[in-house]
Chains A and B, each alone.
Chain A
C-alpha cells in the first residue's frame, strides 16, 4: 500500500478561502473539522445515515461526510459557523433557541443548515415543505416537534426582517 499523495486544495468556506494540503481520501467533514478547525458540523455516522454533518454546498444542503474535500475545491461552502453576523444570529438560529428545538444539540447544526437551505430556496415554505426539509436529519433526543416549530418561526422571523428592511 502506497501512502497517497497529498493534493493542494482551496476550500471556500463561509466566504473565506482556505488553501490546504490534504489526502484525496479526506472527506469534506474531516477537512472542516480537522484542517479548518470548524467543528460545528458533527460526525455521528460518517455514512450518510444521520444528517449531523449537513452543510450547504453551492446553495444545496448536503452531507459533508460523503463528499471528498478534493471534490469541493471550486464550490461555495457554508457551515453553521457562517450563519451569524457578528453577534446577530441567523433567524433559524434565533428560532431554534426560542422554540427549544434541541436538547443535547449534537444534531442541531445539521438541522439548522437544512432549514437555512430551505429558506434560501423558498422563503415562504408551507408546513409540509418544512417537514420535508428536515427528513434527512435525525434527532435522537426527539426534538422534532420543536424543530418544526422553529422552522415555521424562522420563516416568519425572516419575512418580518425582510419587510422591516424594505
Chain B
C-alpha cells in the first residue's frame, strides 16, 4: 500500500466535504473506508492509491442498524453481511438477501464487510486485479479478457468490459426491488437499485452511477407481503468463492398462479442482471415445470458467451429452474 492520511469525520456532511475537497498534493483524492475488505485489497495491489482514507464507520448518523416500518426495511449502509445473514426480519421476509449474505465470503469477512461497501466493490476479473495488466477498465485500450482466459467472465455483452459483478447481496437486492439512498454535496437522492448499477462506459469506468462526493446512506426494501424469495449460488468449490453464477428469485404466488415475479442473475454481466423477459413470462402464469423451463430459457435469452464460458448459460438455467421450483413448491 502506498502511504495515505487517515481522517475520521464527525458528520456525514464533513465526510462529503472531505470527499469533495482536494487538498494540495492529494492528486488521487480521498476514499471512504468502511469494512475495508475490498478497498484494502485494491490498495495492496496498487490498483487504488487514495491520498486519504475517510473512516465512516464511526459516523453517528450513518447507521449500522436495520429498521422496520410499514413501507419496508431500511438497512443502514454500515450493516454487515453477518447482520443480514442473521437478522430475523431479513431471514423471515427477505430470505434471498439473508441467503446471499450467508453464501458470500467467509464468517470473518461477513463480520467486517458492510452492505454499502459490498455494492461498491470492484470486479474480481483476474486481469483487473493483476497490477501488470493495464486493461480497458483501468484506462487502457483493450479488454484482455475478451480474447483471453474468460471462463469466469460475463455472458451478457453490455459493456466494453466483460467482468462480472462480484456481489451476491446485490443480485438479491435487485430481485427484491431495493432502492439505494445516497447523500452528497447536492443533498440526498434515492434510486432503484436497477438504476444504481450501470455498465461501465468509456466516461465512467465503474459499475455504479454514484458520484465522487456521495455516500450510500442506506438500502431500502419495499414491504414484502406475499413475496417469497431465494438465492442460489454456484461456486468452484463449496464455500469461499465468488459466484460462477448466482440466481435470486422472488415470486408472489396465489393458489398456484404467479401474480408477480422478479428474477436477477449474478456472475453473468458487469452489473447484477435482471431477467425481465423471464419475469414477464412468469407473471400471470400457472406455475408448472413447463413454465419454469420456459422462464429459464427466457432468462438467458440474448446471452452471448465468450470462448470459455458457455457453461455459464447451462449453469444459470439450471439454477433458475431450481430457484423457481423451490419457490413454487
Contact = CB atoms under 8 A, between A and B. Distances in A.
A and B touch in the complex (CB under 8 A): yes
Contacts of B3: 1-4, 23-25
A46 B106 contact: no
B239 A25 contact: no
Contact of B108 (A2, A23, A46, A114): A114
A70 B6 contact: yes
Given A24-B4, A24-B6, A66 B106 contact: no
Interface stretch (A78-86, A93-101, A130-138, A155-163): A130-138
A70 B55 CA distance: 10
A66 B41 contact: yes
Given A47-B41, A47-B44, A135-B239, A2 B25 contact: yes
A71 B57 CA distance: 9
A60 interface: yes
A60 B109 CA distance: 10
A60 B111 contact: yes
A5 B5 contact: yes
Interface residues of A, number: 31
B107 A132 contact: yes
Interface string A1-34: 1111101000000000000000111010000000
A143 interface: no
A32 B106 CA distance: 22
A137 B25 CA distance: 40
Interface stretch (B32-40, B216-224, B273-281, B286-294): B32-40
A147 to B, nearest CB: 14
A54 interface: yes
Contact of B106 (A70, A71, A136): A136
A27 B39 CA distance: 13
Interface string A125-147: 00000001101111000000000
Interface residues of B, number: 28
B22 to A, nearest CB: 15
A136 B53 contact: no
B2 interface: yes
B109 A136 contact: yes
B6 A51 contact: no
Contacts of B2: 1, 25
A61 interface: yes
Contacts of B111: 60-62
A48 B6 contact: no
A156 to B, nearest CB: 22
B107 A135 contact: yes
Nearest to B3: A4
Contacts of A137: 106
Interface in B255-310: none
B57 A136 contact: no
Interface of B: 1-6, 25, 33, 35-37, 40-41, 43-44, 53, 55, 57, 82, 105-109, 111-112, 239-240
Given A24-B6, A135-B239, 15 more contacts: A1-B3, A7-B6, A24-B3, A25-B3, A60-B82, A61-B107, A66-B35, A66-B40, A66-B41, A66-B112, A67-B112, A68-B6, A68-B40, A114-B107, A136-B107
Question: Considering the complex of A and B, which 8 residue pairs feature the smallest CB-CB distances, nearest first?
Answer: A136-B106, A4-B3, A24-B6, A60-B111, A25-B1, A136-B108, A135-B239, A136-B107
